[in-house]
Amino acid sequence: MRRLLAVFLVLLCVLLGAPAGVGAAAHEVTYDRYSLKVDGERLVLQSAEFHYFRLPSPELWRDVLEKFRAAGFNAVSIYFSWAYHSPKPGVYDFTGVRDVDRLLRTARQAGLYVIARPGPYINAESTGGGLPAWVKTVPGRARSSAPGYQAAYREWLHRINPIIARHQVTDGGPVILYNAENEYQVNTDAAYMQDIQDQARAAGIDVPITTNDCCDAGSWSSTWATGPGAVQIPGVDDYPQSFECASPEVWGPWGEGLTERLRDDIPVFAAEYQAGAIDLGNAGYDRCRELTGPAYMKYFYKNNLVTTGATMFSYYMGYGGTNWGWLAQPNDVYTSYDYGAAITEARQLTPKYDEFKRQSYFLEAVAPLAKTDPLTSPAVPDNPALTTTARANPDTGTQFVLVKHADRAATGTDDATLDWAAPDGRHRVPVRVKGRDAHVLVAGYDLGAQRLVLSTSEIMTHALIGGRDVAVLYGTAGSPGATILRYGSRPVVKVLEGDVRASYTGGDLRLDYTHDGLARVLVTGGGRRPLLLLLGTDETAAGFWRAETGSGPVLVRGTELVRSASASGDTLRLAADTAGGPVEAFAGPAVRRLRIGTEDVRVARTPSGSLLGATRVPEPVRLPALTGWRSRAEAPEAAPGFDDSRWTVADHTTTVSPHPPKTLPVLYADDYGYHYGNVWYRGHFTAAGSETRIDLNAVTGLRGNYLVWLNGRYLGSAAGGVEADSGDASTPPNPDPGPGHFDIPAGVLKPGADNVISVLVANMGHNDDWIADDLRFKQPRGLVAATVGGTPISWRIQGSPGTDPLRGPLNNGGLYGERTGWHLPTYPDKSWKAASSELPPGVTWLRTAFRLDLPKGQDAPVGLRFGGDPSPAYRVQIFLNGWNVGQYGGDIGPQRDFVLPAGLLDEHGTNTIALAVTAEQAVAGPGPISLFTYGNVRQGR
């Protein structure tokens, strides 16, 4: 009975289009030197990274994960951010936007395996590298087995591990691998690494444990291969293009990015392979997308596949998302974590997505790729600019020949004739590979019921549809192609479309053509089942979507996306995004009708046997202008009479921070439980009368600042201290930005009486702990020194008064408006005055509301755009319906457009935008501010 049930469930996943192992039945995960196996079936793991904490809208998780699956990824790699779930020791939240149970269920429904990466340390340019800021106050080095840290990280693992454990493949869930720690490479502690794994096993994690080793596998994966801390499948991270997006033409500054084989008993695992970049030079993410664009992907990914023989890939990132709230690590990123990924922050598909689709479909369709050995190249080009490397499957003999062209020489050509000793015979065939490109060509392959002798077109996918094999092959537009197929007798060749020449000799049918548009060739007879060969270019091939139905796969082109398909009776039903124009579906002959979402599409049958119709263009989207801004200045904390008696007294004389304070008391915000966003200080002193100057020193993280008042008089601002993440252990971070000197203007000091210094310090987020040295991570935030002559000062501090139960610990800091709810949609702002464009120094809030009614059934992501030039003199915290969706201005980054994600944005109702503007001087405020859309499709579900 159980067996029957298991068979039924496996069938169900096949019907739903999931890879065989992603389903409700229990499966076994094993591996050998070639690949992972699920229930003994080999698998090329094709994964991309996704951070749920960078998309605070669970409904959109589904959209992104379905887009992953539709690109042919069979897995998603997910960091779990400890900081995102834990505002303080012992307190954890896994509800709402933090509901990772839902996330893992969504991944399974989307048909994806999951590589679970719960850290405890994750890096990811996220605040503290994923460590909650409260860990900064825990004694003992983070990322070691020091007792204080050990108690802390076990607390996290004891909560996250059981959630991951109940979603494992071995229990019918999607989790196929568990990754311990992150690039744990210097200052290592084997006992810590071992304990993470012991904790996982104790929680019932029984899938293989992996690691992602940094920097060409330099560290423990070799030395610890068998000792304490060693994992089952160590993997390697590679970022060959580096992160300088301003120079996208630079090619592989960090090497070829070939993922090393670490051990003979495990597959080669590209644990993080570069698929985008952080924008270190503030060039904008479109440049990062260029730096890591299709040319790079073709050359580097295919090189890694064939030269290395890797069968486990995880691309960082597939979708980057948003550093909303105070999620960003301050040194390397700004609000957008778009990453130049294949899917943009606003969930739009890019040419990189197309390239992933071409490659991922290939990996999924051509099974012999999961087990290959290196082979002396059987294909020799007669042009030295082109080189070949090869592998073959030892069981089937199928050859995979990589033809690459490193760079275009000034005088060289891209063309060659390949002299190819293929398993079924030797042939001379033309090939063209332009500079910075690579093609994987296949020979000796059972393509469905066909025998592919070889092709100089690349295989995208093939499927048995309606009793015939349908294959999509492609090549660079304008390049020559040759495909040779073997038959028992002369087949009938019918060229349905395009210019394809056929010849038949000695059992070989040879087709010669130029890649141009989409050629269609129907081959029947010859002792095999019929073959419909679709010969496309990169562009036309990318237009195809493949989906599985209960009665087999279908291919669709002309839609913006196909999420899933089902066939019943004579109707093919697609869940697909469309934007108008022709749509074509290749399904069995029984299918005569096409339905996309809830709409019937009128179709006619084509000579290729497919159905052809047209989709409707989406309704245009009308967005309101943002008008009616109201404003209110805040910062009552600056006024001498402000009641701070309920603020926290800052009187500590010791700290666990490795950075000693320059003056006492210790004023580090973390030490008083204020970890994120802005923090206020009020220092009282009885003036001797001789004080002339206030000397302050604050550490804020990159691009932070602080503003200072004395007795209500604004004295000015200064840049906060920083630490750039140099990654160099020999250069300790410098917590000392140099003091800010604030002269006391005449008449402001009150000798013999209570004087009040008010300081507003921005905390831009917490450094990561990349080299596990604690110095970087435990760098304080807030004031590190404060003197006013020699006069003693007594201090109080106030940050965020608590955690927003819906929006979580990273949403708010301690601005007066935040403490009073001015960012919330429900706040009554009627009494606020109409906003003027001039802002005084200090904090001013601007609010407006707008109504939306976007066309139903369409996906038109909305953004907020700041026109004009931002001033370095102000910084803006942007709240959408209370959610802190970004930081603008203040030289924080080049970003002017901010995504307002559906879910946080009410697409059919009233929305509130609140801007908290901190100005260092009187300045014209930001603007003009408008709404815009990133795209617009009909979403047929």
Residue 249 annotated in active site: no
Nearer to ligand GAL (CB atom), residue 93 or residue 272: 272
In the complex, what is the shortest distance from the CB of residue 312 to ligand GAL, in angstroms, rounded to a whole number? 16
Q: Which is nearer to ligand GAL, 183 or 538 (CB)?
A: 183
Q: Which of 272, 345, 560, 723 is catalytic?
A: 272
Interface residues toward ligand GAL, by CB under 6 A:
123-125, 182-183, 212, 214, 237, 272, 278, 316
Structure-token pair, residue 577:
């995004």
Residue with the CB atom nearest ligand GAL in the bound state: 123
Q: Return the ∠ at Cα 73 (arms to 70 and 79), rounded to 5°.
A: 115
Check the CA dihedral 515-517-518-521 and report its sign: negative
Strands (E), 688-737: 693-699, 705-710, 713-719
Alpha-carbon distance of 364 to 545, in angstroms, equals 13
Cβ distance to ligand GAL smaller for residue 185 or 798 = 185
Name the residue type at position 195: D
Q: Which is nearer to ligand GAL, 215 or 367 (CB)?
A: 215
110-113-116 Cα angle (round to 5): 120
Q: Is 41 a catalytic residue?
A: no
Which is nearer to ligand GAL, 101 or 216 (by Cβ)? 216
Catalytic residue among 49, 66, 125, 183: 183
Considering beta carbons, is residue 314 or 461 the nearer one to ligand GAL?
314
Identity of residue 446? D
Whole-angstrom distance, CA of residue 211 vs CA of residue 580: 45
How far does CA 710 lie from the centroid of its chain?
A: 45
Give me the phi and psi of 227, to 5 degrees please.
-85, -170
Helices 147-165/100-109 angle, 10° precision: 40
| DSSP, residue by residue, 409-443 | -SS--SEEEEEEEETTEEEEEEEE--TTEEEEEEE
Q: Tally DSSP H helices, then E strands, for the chain.
A: 13, 58
| Nearest-approach distance from CB 127 to ligand GAL, in angstroms | 12
CB of 438: closest distance to ligand GAL in angstroms? 24
Closer by beta carbon to ligand GAL, 240 or else 861: 240
Cα–Cα distance for residue pair 879/904, rounded to 1 Å: 10
183 touches 42 (CB < 8 A): no
Contact indicator for 755, 687 with CB cutoff of 8 Å? yes
Contact 637, 680 (CB under 8 A): yes
Asked if residues 318 and 76 have their Cβ atoms less than 8 Å apart, the reply is: yes
Q: How far is the CB of 187 from ligand GAL (least distance, A)?
A: 16
Omega of the bond leading into 240 within 30 degrees of 0 (cis): no
Minimum CB–partner distance for residue 246 and ligand GAL (Å): 17
When the beta carbons of 260 and 859 are compared against ligand GAL, the nearer one is 260
Q: Residue 232 carries which side chain, given as an amino acid letter? A: Q
List the strands of the sheet with 468-475, edge to edge.
458-465, 468-475, 531-537, 518-525, 491-497
CA distances from 374 to 77, 216, 659 (A): 28, 21, 53
Q: What is the β-pairing status of strands 593-596 and 599-601?
A: antiparallel
Tell the smallest beta-carbon distance from residue 217 to ligand GAL (Å): 13
Find the shortest distance in angstroms from Cβ 301 to ligand GAL. Answer: 17
For the bound state, the minimum distance from the C-beta of residue 46 to ligand GAL, rounded and expressed in Å, comes to: 19
Q: Which residues are catalytic?
A: 183, 272
